Amino acid sequence: MTTQSQRPSDAESGAGASNFIRNIIAEDLAAGRHTRVVTRFPPEPNGYLHIGHAKSILLNFGLATEFGGVCHMRFDDTNPAAEDMEYVESIQRDVRWLGGEWGDKLFFASDYFERLYAFAVELIRKGKAYVCSLSEAETRELRGTVTEPGRDSPYRNRSVEENLDLFARMRAGEFPEGAHVLRAKIDMAAPNMKMRDPPIYRIKRARHYRTGDAWCIYPLYDFAHSLSDAIEGITHSICTLEFENNRELYDWIIESLDVPSRPRQYEFARLNLNYTVMSKRKLLALVKGGHVKGWDDPRMPTIAGLRRRGVTPESIRAFCEEIGVAKTNSMVEFAKFESCVRDDLNLRAPRVMAVLRPLRVVLENYPEGQVEEIDAPYWPEDVPRQGSRKVPLSRVIYIERDDFLEDPPKKWFRLAPGQQVRLRYAGFITCREVVRDHATGEVIELRCTYDRPTTSGEAPDGRKPKGTLHWVSAAHALAVEVRLYDRLFASERPDAVDEGKDFLDNLNPGSLVALTGCRVEPSLSTVEKGSHVQFERQGFFFVDPVDSAPGAPVFNRTVALKDSWSKLSGEKPAQAAAPESAAAKPQPPRPKAERAPFEERLARLEPARADKARHLIEARGIPGDDAVVLAEDDDLLRLFEDAVSVHDNARSAANWVIHSLSRELKDSKTGDLPFSGAQLGELLALIDDGTISGKIAKDVLAEMVQQGGSPRAIVERRGLRQVADEGALERIVDQVVAGHPGEVSRFRAGNTKLIGFFVGQVMKASGGKANPDLVNSLLTRKLA
């Protein structure tokens, strides 16, 4: 058995803090203290689960799976006043969505009420529990403080017979609420105040959602939880740090009774996110107070809310893996969570065009009635997926209202009178005339000329416009509703409120902006509920699974393309922009990152750096935002140039230098890296020639950042070469398909989204080394 002295200290956890519980389990199995791992996830059904619970779910179910054990789903339903079957059903739904499977191991603490009552009677018979008749105020007064011992209750020395009689009469319903409680008889002078004769049973006159009116006394959490673990044979009872002081009581209860097994409790740091609240009481207040539209409101940190917003279980899993498992509480940046969501959606969300605040543009020299079908890819070059759609171009189009200024500032690279821009995937337009509403003076239409690109993709007049705009054909676009969701709270620590204020005072008034009359390209006319897309230049969006209808999708913004709340902006968090049609109503300002696209950032650069950025855009084809970042940082630019000198893929090099490398650097400086730009170029070459996948490349980069070295040597030493042998992969694919008959049936019944599940299983089985294109091809053939 694991003793207290065998528990690792924080210092001992040190570098292994991310997996110290895994180490404990491995040591227990190796030492023969256990032959099988049994964990549990024990939520109270008094609300919906939130993202903090996700960390516990993934840890408990993940460890059980990793060690070939089992994880129980057990509902701690010992407080009938707050619990409901709705919550039971929602919790099961959320846990399954995150990948938790419990088979026949579904339990309820209410199943054990009779056994728990018998355990309480056993404590009384042993002289270790007594019925106390003090009021709550009197009990509090005798409890003492952290520096002063408590004082004994005058009822502490009741005889065993009297206690048994009173406890039986409590069960029989003879007494009102508050008349008596059953307390453990431990030590009123204990330094740990949890041990000062804590209550273990109380009278509760409330109908239980499962047992009805069979009981009027209910066990308290510490008593029910520890004994439920013992009844079920739990080996490792894993909970968050706020229960650390409860461990002594947990052990006392187990050791004071004749229980069928001896579980041990271990604590880890709970997940705390800034800009949100995790208290169920406060989440309930948001729902009951009408501040949100239910537990599944996409602004809520609940699993149901995140799912409806379009967050995937894979991104939550990646986030929890990134923050790790520690012994010390800390606050995690919400931006880190959003980054994990972007990384996941980047590989699953096809790119399309949508105009959220439409401005009508007439192409005067484009023939009436003519429609040109333009082939546009769904995926950018750095995403290894294929597919395209036809985008119609006609005489009248819509562009984003924010992409036009009649009196623009210097170096404005979007549309303005007399100024030329490129239409995404199409030709060039030049603004010739501005049409206004006679009554309001509002700009309602632009008159432009259209120029087709030359064979080299340039404008016929030789100009090289810096701006590229997204657009849709007015005659073919679908009118939709788009909901721009943002953080629910404007304060980084909404719980830390001043005296006299409430956490609700920190609500962000711009957390939801609903835009009607938005226009999307016609390829989305048949989009299904629950589909992910990226609106180019706008963000990642999700087709709302509740409010959408055939031909009338509602799009929820899952996450913006960039963190508009970044501290680097020098601004306090601001709210999303309101629709133009709501101009009569004062609206909060838009975030700086949305107001300042790369053209404006370019204009703020000193001339020499601005010239570097333009050269990167024009000569190297680097996206504007990336070009500005490189031009601003000499070390990054040098690393980029050295990488390109070895492997000439400028867009890929910029993407890896700016995005992938920045995540690995954390607080380090680019100039301190233990590898050269040439070695980064070598890594990019390994990706492009198919030696390794992009996922494996990230692991290699992480090792390079830590230890340096040649990426090719790292790949060979660790055996990371991508598996592209069809025969070898076919065997893995066959095993995965055979091992998941239920998913195969659902896929063949029409749930084709499960292809992502099968790809993930094959990639996992191959250690992430399988060629994803070949895996897709094999699965498509096998599952047909």
Q: Which residues carry out catalysis?
A: 44, 270, 280
What tokens does 161 get? 């017979």
What is d(CA 351, CA 379) in angstroms, rounded to the nearest whole number? 6
Is 469:421 a contact under the CB 8 Å cutoff?
Answer: yes
Q: Identify any residues that bridge with 184 across adjacent strands, giving them in sequence order.
A: 129
- Rg (C-alpha) for the chain, rounded Å, is 31
Can you say how many angstroms the Cα of residue 654 is from the centroid of all Cα atoms in its chain? 26
For 98-102, the CB contacts below 8 A with 24+ separation are: 98/54, 98/57, 98/58, 98/61, 98/303, 98/313, 98/316, 98/317, 99/58, 99/61, 99/313, 99/317, 100/41, 100/57, 100/61, 100/71, 100/73, 101/61, 102/70, 102/71, 102/72, 102/73
Other C-beta atoms within 10 Å of 499: how many?
Answer: 4
Give the HSE-up count for residue 529: Cα atoms under 13 Å, Cβ half-sphere: 9
Burial readout 468-489 (b: 16 or more C-beta within 10 A, e: otherwise): bbbbbbbebbbebbbbbbbbbb
- Closest listed residue to residue 191, CA positions, set 148, 155, 153, 222: 148
Is 21:63 a contact under the CB 8 Å cutoff?
Answer: yes
Terminal-to-terminal C-alpha distance of the chain = 52
What is d(CA 224, CA 219) in angstroms, rounded to the nearest whole number? 6
Can you say how many angstroms the Cα of residue 689 is from the centroid of all Cα atoms in its chain? 33
- Closest listed residue to residue 76, CA positions, set 50, 51, 35, 40: 40
Secondary structure letter of residue 549 according to DSSP = B
In the 3-class helix/strand/coil scheme, how is 360-388 assigned residue by residue?
Answer: EEEECCCCCCCCEEEEEECCCCCCCCCCE
Q: At what angle do helices 726-739 and 772-783 cross, to 10 degrees?
A: 50
The DSSP line for 602-622 is HHHS-HHHHHHHHHHHHHH--
User: Residue 712 is inside which H or E element, if any?
Assistant: helix 711-718
Secondary structure letter of residue 80 according to DSSP = T
Is 216:168 a contact under the CB 8 Å cutoff?
Answer: no
- Specify the residue for token string 């508050």: 178
Q: How far is CA 59 from CA 22, 257, 276, in A?
A: 9, 29, 22
Secondary structure letter of residue 28 according to DSSP = H
Q: Identify any residues that bridge with 480 across adjacent strands, giving them in sequence order.
A: 518
Is 195:249 a contact under the CB 8 Å cutoff?
Answer: yes
Is 141:135 a contact under the CB 8 Å cutoff?
Answer: no
- 3-class secondary structure, 683: helix
- Specify the residue for token string 């967050």: 311
Cα diameter, the chain: 103
The DSSP line for 83-146 is --HHHHHHHHHHHHHTT---TT-EEEGGGGHHHHHHHHHHHHHTT-EEEE---HHHHHHHS--S
- Specify the residue for token string 């990384």: 343
What is d(CA 155, CA 10) in angstroms, rounded to the nearest whole number? 41
Q: How far is CA 42 from CA 231, 506, 539, 543, in A?
A: 14, 31, 37, 32
- 3-class secondary structure, 302: strand
- Closest listed residue to residue 428, CA positions, set 418, 419, 420: 420
